[in-house]
Chains A and B, each alone.
Chain A
Amino acid sequence: MIRTEEMLLNVGPQHPSTHGVFRLVVKVDGEIIKEATPVIGYLHRGTEKLAEDLQYTQIIPYTDRMDYLSAMTNNYVICHAVETLMDLEVPERAEYLRVIAMELGRIASHLVWYGTYLMDIGTTSPFLYAFREREMIINLLNELCGARLTFNYMRIGGVKWDAPDGWIDKVRDFIPYMREQVKGYHELVTGNEIFLNRVKGVGQYTQEEAIQYSLSGANLRCTGIPYDLRKEQPYSIYDRFDFHVPVGETGDAWSRYLCRMSEMEESLKILEQAVDQFPEGGKTMGKVPRIIKPPKGEVYVRIESPRGEIGCYIASDGKKTPYRLKFRRPSFYNLQILPKLLEGENMANLIAILGGVDIVLGEVDG
């Protein structure tokens, strides 16, 4: 007889498949996880504290570094919060540019998730395809704002740059191409027997649990709740587009996979309509005072980022810096359910579950 005893195992903070500096202390009995304790904070930069000494426009680049896989939505949430507080109007053209940028960012972010998730599970080639397409999106965004990752593109009241000549057409050409690729991804992975065995029934939870844990994004929708803020509380110009919110049924890693894959297709739909409706001329900046001083008061806005509900709270005392700035970071909330999901699971499923939550550590740690 082999005697087994509980063992404490440290995963991270630099383990390659933990998607960043994330540490997990797992108590294992043989192959079975008895308890998992996430340790976070390795990437905490005190964005909220720093922001208290910065003017609103200066805060925008900091938001790029929170969820660095979808910096456009982060840019938007802070601008949207200030605009709401100041009751500013954003020009049509700017709104369209924002939506196009955000949806491109959403696809790029899902592509990273798709590639790395399958790499976690043990297949390498989807990663290469996903990054090939992501590169095209990054190039598009680079043409738009001169940066590949930390865009710093949006401004309070509009966007920093207008689209260069022919850019909209490039986006238009990209849509059918990407659609084909998504089909290809499905062919490559979706029906694969090994993949199905790795994800079906893994990391499963119910609707009630998902709500209890304040999950959002695909992590919530995979249980069958069609909760997408673009539909639920439309912001920007999302009420002008016809798209639907993909939901799962089973609430496991498999349904999260399907949700995110369909979300890419829905984003393409939105892009298609946005490109068609894109206004001919017009300004890209609204009328904004030189020094942005929102009136005294507080505001909380939330929007749909690729990872879920990203919120921004501002308490303003009428000065040019926020009195208190708070980001509701979806990854931070979504990660809370991890210890519960891992309990009793096989060690080999650890990464399959963690990857399925789709976190970005820059956002978890703020």
Chain B
Amino acid sequence: MTEENENKPQQNEDISSKSEEAKPKEHENQKQAPTNQEDAPTAESDEINQSSDRPPKADSSETTSKSEKPKRPRKKRTKKDQPPEKQEPSPNQPLLDHYVKMIKNSLGDDSIEEAFVNRSSKELPTITATPKSYFSIAKLLRDHEELQFQFLSDLHGIDYESHMEIYVYLYSMTKKQSVALKVKLDRDNPVIPSLVPLWKGANWPENEAYDLLGITFEDHPDLKRIMLGEDWEGYPLRKDYEPYDVEV
């Protein structure tokens, strides 16, 4: 299938989304006003929304009285106002500790740079490996009987300007657990062992990271530019990349 162009009815939408973009800027200074508007969609305004055809509603401007506030947003607010709740240890903390212990036992204390539970990513245990131990940690995570992270879900690179990073998301289908493995690389010379010997599925994602970020994967069977042409200059996803056509 080719990309069909069936977009005519969207025109309306385009206009409304433009105004959406413009409006926030006007209101930026009076943040409170818009939030209050949204707080108080009375029964009336809801009815209007349902009956009329396609009102540019809810997220655009609609001045309603700030009389009664519905229960749900208030619930949300109380949640937000309780940072102490966040301080509680994550339910996945024991899992992370377990992984870290396993890794340290077999690969030494200095194999892990950092380990934490990423609270904002569904309590995801995250391990930052040192470049030297990156491959062996990945292998251990895959093969160890108590870990069994046999499925590589995602692999990509990030340019943090101070350093490069590889982010690998692994999943254990047998234990139904996830882990993120990260490694920080020298930005000027980002070289790291390839994971293709462990997961053949890492082949193209690594090519993509090489293509767009210039990260070199050692022992990769076929490291090449996969999206861009072989003669492309520079690595587009690097933060200091200068676009070919600056105007665009």
Check A300–B121 contact: CB distance below 8 A.
yes
Nearest Cβ on chain B to A29's Cβ, whole angstroms? 22
CB neighbours (8 Å) of B226 from chain A are: 40-41
Please encode chain A, from 53 to 71, with 1 for each CB lying within 8 Å of some chain B CB and 0 for all others: 0010110000001001100
Nearest Cβ on chain A to B90's Cβ, whole angstroms? 14
Nearest Cβ on chain B to A117's Cβ, whole angstroms? 11
Measured in the bound complex, the distance between the Cα atoms of B57 and A160 in whole Å is 8
If A213-B200, A290-B27 touch, whether A300 touches B59 (CB-CB below 8 Å) is no
Measured in the bound complex, the distance between the Cα atoms of B123 and A84 in whole Å is 10
Measured in the bound complex, the distance between the Cα atoms of B201 and A298 in whole Å is 23
Asked if B19 is an interface residue, CB under 8 A from chain A, the answer is no
Nearest Cβ on chain A to B3's Cβ, whole angstroms? 5
Check A40–B201 contact: CB distance below 8 A.
no
How many A residues touch B, CB cutoff 8 Å? Answer: 85
How many B residues touch A, CB cutoff 8 Å? Answer: 72
Check B228–A44 contact: CB distance below 8 A.
yes
Nearest Cβ on chain A to B87's Cβ, whole angstroms? 15
Check B72–A146 contact: CB distance below 8 A.
no
Q: Which residue of A lies closest to B74 (CB)?
A: A287
CB neighbours (8 Å) of A191 from chain B are: none
The residue that B173 contacts in the complex, of A69, A146, A227, with Cβ under 8 A, is A227
Nearest Cβ on chain A to B190's Cβ, whole angstroms? 15
If A20-B2, A84-B121, A291-B28 touch, whether A328 touches B153 (CB-CB below 8 Å) is yes
CB neighbours (8 Å) of A237 from chain B are: none
Q: Which residue of B lies closest to A232 (CB)?
A: B176
Nearest Cβ on chain A to B22's Cβ, whole angstroms? 12
Measured in the bound complex, the distance between the Cα atoms of B2 and A116 in whole Å is 12
CB neighbours (8 Å) of A283 from chain B are: 41, 46, 58, 70
Which has the most chain A C-beta neighbours within 10 Å: B53, B199, B237?
Answer: B237
CB neighbours (8 Å) of A286 from chain B are: 72-73, 76
Asked if A161 is an interface residue, CB under 8 A from chain B, the answer is yes
Nearest Cβ on chain A to B39's Cβ, whole angstroms? 7
Measured in the bound complex, the distance between the Cα atoms of B227 and A362 in whole Å is 12
Nearest Cβ on chain B to A205's Cβ, whole angstroms? 11
Asked if A259 is an interface residue, CB under 8 A from chain B, the answer is no
Nearest Cβ on chain B to A58's Cβ, whole angstroms? 7
Measured in the bound complex, the distance between the Cα atoms of B156 and A57 in whole Å is 23
Check A324–B158 contact: CB distance below 8 A.
yes
Measured in the bound complex, the distance between the Cα atoms of B45 and A162 in whole Å is 13
The residue that A313 contacts in the complex, of B6, B57, B167, B236, with Cβ under 8 A, is B167
Name the interface residues of B39-62: CB closer than 8 Å to any CB of A: 39, 41, 46, 49-51, 53-54, 57-59
Measured in the bound complex, the distance between the Cα atoms of B201 and A335 in whole Å is 10
Q: Which residue of A lies closest to B47 (CB)?
A: A281
Asked if B79 is an interface residue, CB under 8 A from chain A, the answer is yes
Please encode chain A, from 318 to 337, with 1 for each CB lying within 8 Å of some chain B CB and 0 for all others: 00000110101000110111
Q: Which residue of B lies closest to A362 (CB)?
A: B3
CB neighbours (8 Å) of B202 from chain A are: 214
Asked if A249 is an interface residue, CB under 8 A from chain B, the answer is no
Check A57–B20 contact: CB distance below 8 A.
yes
Asked if B89 is an interface residue, CB under 8 A from chain A, the answer is no
The residue that B9 contacts in the complex, of A142, A164, A232, A362, with Cβ under 8 A, is A142
Asked if B150 is an interface residue, CB under 8 A from chain A, the answer is yes
Nearest Cβ on chain A to B12's Cβ, whole angstroms? 6
Q: Which residue of B lies closest to A326 (CB)?
A: B156
The interface stretch among A147-155, A240-248, A262-270 is A147-155
16 further A-B pairs in the complex, CB-CB below 8 A; given A112-B1, A286-B73: A40-B226, A57-B17, A84-B122, A89-B72, A142-B9, A147-B13, A148-B9, A158-B58, A211-B151, A214-B151, A214-B153, A215-B201, A290-B23, A290-B35, A328-B154, A366-B227
- What are 17 A-B pairs at a CB distance below 8 A? A46-B236, A87-B120, A147-B6, A147-B13, A149-B6, A157-B59, A158-B58, A164-B53, A211-B150, A214-B151, A214-B153, A284-B58, A287-B76, A299-B118, A301-B122, A302-B153, A326-B156
Binding site for A on B (CB under 8 A): 1-4, 6-7, 9-10, 12-13, 17, 20-21, 23-24, 27-28, 31, 34-35, 38-39, 41, 46, 49-51, 53-54, 57-59, 70, 72-73, 75-76, 79-80, 118, 120-122, 124, 150-154, 156, 158-159, 167, 169, 173, 176, 178, 180, 199-205, 208, 212, 226-228, 236-237
Sorted nearest first, the 6 A-B pairs with minimum C-beta distance are A214-B201, A285-B58, A148-B6, A41-B227, A328-B154, A299-B121
